[in-house]
Amino acid sequence: MRALVFDTTLGSWETTRGFELADVPEPVLDETVNSSDADKVILKVHYAGICGTDRGIWNRAAFRDQILGSIKAEGGTRRILGHEFFGEIVAMGSKVNDVAPYPLKVGDFASPESHVVCNKCFQCKLGERHVCTNEKILGISHDGGFAEFVKLPGHIVWKTDTSAIRPELGAMQEPFGNAVHAGSKVPLKGKTVAIFGLGPIGLFLILVARGLGASTIIGVEPNPVSQEMAKRLGIDYVIPLSVRESPLIKGVPVRGRDVKNTPPAEDGSAPLVRGDNQSYHRDEAVIKKIEELTAGLGVDVSFEMAGFNSSFNNALFATRRGGDVIAFGIKTGDFVLEDYNRFVVRGLTVHAVIGRRLPETWEMTQKLFADRTNKIQENIWNVILDQGKGTILPLAEYTKEKFEEMMAKHPKLLIEV
């Protein structure tokens, strides 16, 4: 079968770039050979989504150790990539319905949770499976869904009703769930919120925050394409953060809006960098504008979705006394916390959010998708995916050049398998 992979035999992590289209063995179920296949399913993939994690892997700027370490542990040479996908169950082990969140059968459509949890560790037993000690991640430490078929544990497979959720958006349930988890961390009804980084998850968060009753939504984002999408999705204000001359990032100077060589944030938004030789420093103009929009108070809740040090400090300084900061963006390395005294004295609460709570987030996501009155599916399809115009690439037509061209133009893409 065809799959998009990282293959160690074609070069090292440091000397390669992008995904390779390869012929790989098709997965099979055989309980007589492997008893663990009893709780597995094989999914025929129809659509797979591209997110900031995939962009980071493409540029070799994220998940190096996890990918290389898991390949070595398995004694293999390649990893099938991709963690957002949707398809049809074509084979099932005999014990799948002992572990699956819903009764499943061959022919059902489904989308998987991307975190393969153990269900045995302290956190899993406590009901906190989203922070499982022994988790593997599809497309990173477990073969993923950029392929024609994929074998999955039955306990991460979520049945999808295609009469309520259109197939192209079936693959959006996993990333949309990130926004649902972040948006439901604290009550948003009647509150002012700021979203720092309007990549795909940040754009989804606009819809979630509005649906959960936020009174005012402010976005901070340097990318004009994402700014325009946010406006079409109904955001109240967009602050166009400037990207000016900055220090070297991985040896590449970033000037003006030429950020193509800068490692992307994990959610795919543009890098938030400054030009004063202190890339961690808050942007005073952004903070001042948010204060103007909130009568000098600051917002009730800030969502840091980009994963850059300056963005995190912007979120801290934009939040009112006693407010909440949701930290979702991921970036490896140390961060500088500006003015620790101010952080403590203002009584801020910071919440770290990863993945989706199981099963609560998936249940809420499917409920929100199925409710046509909120127009969430309509907005994702018409605005973020532009009705599939230039945002869906058949796997058979994949080339590195074509794929990179599409990634440069659109914050969210689908692969049609």
Read off the pLDDT of residues 329-338 as tens digits, 9 standing for 90 and up.
988 788 999 9
The residue out of 352, 374, 397 marking a domain boundary is: 352
pLDDT (0 to 100) of residue 255: 26
- pTM reported for the whole predicted model: 0.89
Q: Do 310 and 262 share a structural domain?
A: yes
Under a CB-based contact definition with an 8 Å cutoff, are residues 238 and 230 in contact?
Answer: yes
Residue 268 pLDDT class (50, 70, 90 cuts): very low
Mean pLDDT over 301-319 rounds to 95
Tell me the three state secondary structure of residue 138.
Answer: strand
Contact 322, 298 (CB under 8 A): no
Q: How far apart are CA 62 and CA 369, in angstroms?
A: 30
Q: Residue 57 and residue 83: Cα distance in Å, rounded?
A: 12
pLDDT band for position 248 (cuts 50, 70, 90):
very low
181, containing H or E segment: helix 173-183
How does DSSP assign 236-274, residue by residue?
Answer: SEEE---------BTTB--BTTB-TTSPPPTTSPPP---
Same domain, 325 and 411: no
Based on the fold, state whether residues 146 and 216 are members of the same structural domain.
Answer: no
Q: Is the peptide bond before 359 cis (omega within 30 degrees of 0)?
A: yes
Asked if residue 150 is part of any domain, the answer here is yes
* Residue 352 half-sphere exposure toward CB, CA atoms < 13 A: 5
Smallest CA-to-CA distance from 150 within 47, 27, 31, 38 is with: 27
pLDDT at 284 over 70: yes
For range 152-160, the mean pLDDT: 97
Is pLDDT of 79 > 50?
yes
Is 9 within a domain?
Answer: yes
pLDDT average, residue stretch 147-152? 98
Q: What is the mean pLDDT of residues 218-240?
A: 96
Mean pLDDT of the chain: 90
The predicted model gives 169-185 an average pLDDT of 97
Same domain, 268 and 248: yes
Model confidence at 9, pLDDT cuts 50, 70, 90, reads very high
Q: Are 217 and 161 members of one domain?
A: no
Domain that holds residue 244: 186-352
Residue 217 DSSP code:
E
Measure the CA–CA gap between 241 and 292, rounded to whole angstroms. 16
The confidence score (pLDDT) of residue 242 equals 67
What is the per-residue pLDDT for 273? 40
- Burial (CB count within 10 angstroms: exposed 0-12, middle 13-18, buried 19+), residue 44: middle
Residue 402 in any domain: the answer is yes
Residue listed under structure tokens 């819903």: 102
Of 328, 352, 376, the last residue of a domain is 352
252 lies in the same domain as 307: yes
Q: HSE-up of 50 (CA within 13 Å, CB side)?
A: 28
Question: pLDDT per residue over 179-206, tens digit each?
Answer: 999 999 999 999 999 999 999 999 999 9
Residue 180 domain-assigned (yes or no):
no
pLDDT at residue 265 in the model: 46
Q: Are 119 and 101 in contact (CB under 8 A)?
A: no
Tell me: do 150 and 216 sit in the same domain. no
Instruction: Say which CATH number the domain at 169 has.
Output: 3.90.180.10
Q: Is the pLDDT of residue 259 over 90?
A: no
pLDDT at 275 over 60: no
Terminal alpha carbon distance of the chain: 11
* Nearest Cα to Cα of residue 407 among 170, 80, 111, 53: 53
Residues 348 and 361 in one domain: no
- Are the C-beta atoms of 262 and 249 separated by less than 8 Å? yes
Q: Extract the tokens encoding 359.
A: 């099963």
Per-residue pLDDT at 297 exceeds 70 = yes
Q: Is residue 66 pLDDT above 80, yes or no?
A: yes
Do residues 67 and 90 share a domain? yes
Task: Give the DSSP H/E element, type plus range, for residue 57.
Answer: helix 52-58
Determine, yes or no, domain membership for 181.
Answer: no
In the listed set 334, 352, 370, which residue is the last one of a domain according to the structure? 352
Q: Which two tokens stand for residue 290?
A: 């948010």
Q: What's the pLDDT at 251?
A: 30
Confidence class for position 257, pLDDT limits 50, 70, 90: very low
pLDDT band at 277 (very low <50, low <70, confident <90, very high): very low
Residue 229 in domain: yes
Q: Which of 120, 148, 153, 121 is nearest to 138 (CA)?
A: 153
Using alpha carbons, select from 247, 202, 209 the residue that is nearest to residue 229: 202
pLDDT given at position 279: 82
- What pLDDT does 235 receive? 98
**Do residue 22 and residue 159 come from a single domain?**
yes
Distance CA 325, CA 61 (A): 26
Q: What CATH number is associated with residue 304?
A: 3.40.50.720
Domain count, the chain: 2
pLDDT at 330: 82
Element (H, E) at 3: strand 2-7
Spatial separation of the C-alpha atoms in residues 358 and 274, rounded to whole Å: 38
Residue 30 token pair: 């055989």
Asked if residue 100 and residue 62 are part of one domain, the reply reads: yes
pLDDT for 123 beyond 90: yes
Please report, as a single letter, which amino acid is at residue 370: A
Q: 337-346 pLDDT, tens per residue?
A: 999 988 899 9
Longest dimension (CA), the chain: 68
Domain contains 73: yes
Tokens linked to 144 = 């993923």
Question: Token digits for 220?
Answer: 């901070």
Residues 254 and 167 in one domain: no
299-304 and 192-196 strand pairing: parallel
Q: Give a yes or no: residue 410 inside a domain.
A: yes
Q: What's the angle, vertex CA 393, arms to CA 45 and CA 170, rounded to 5?
A: 40
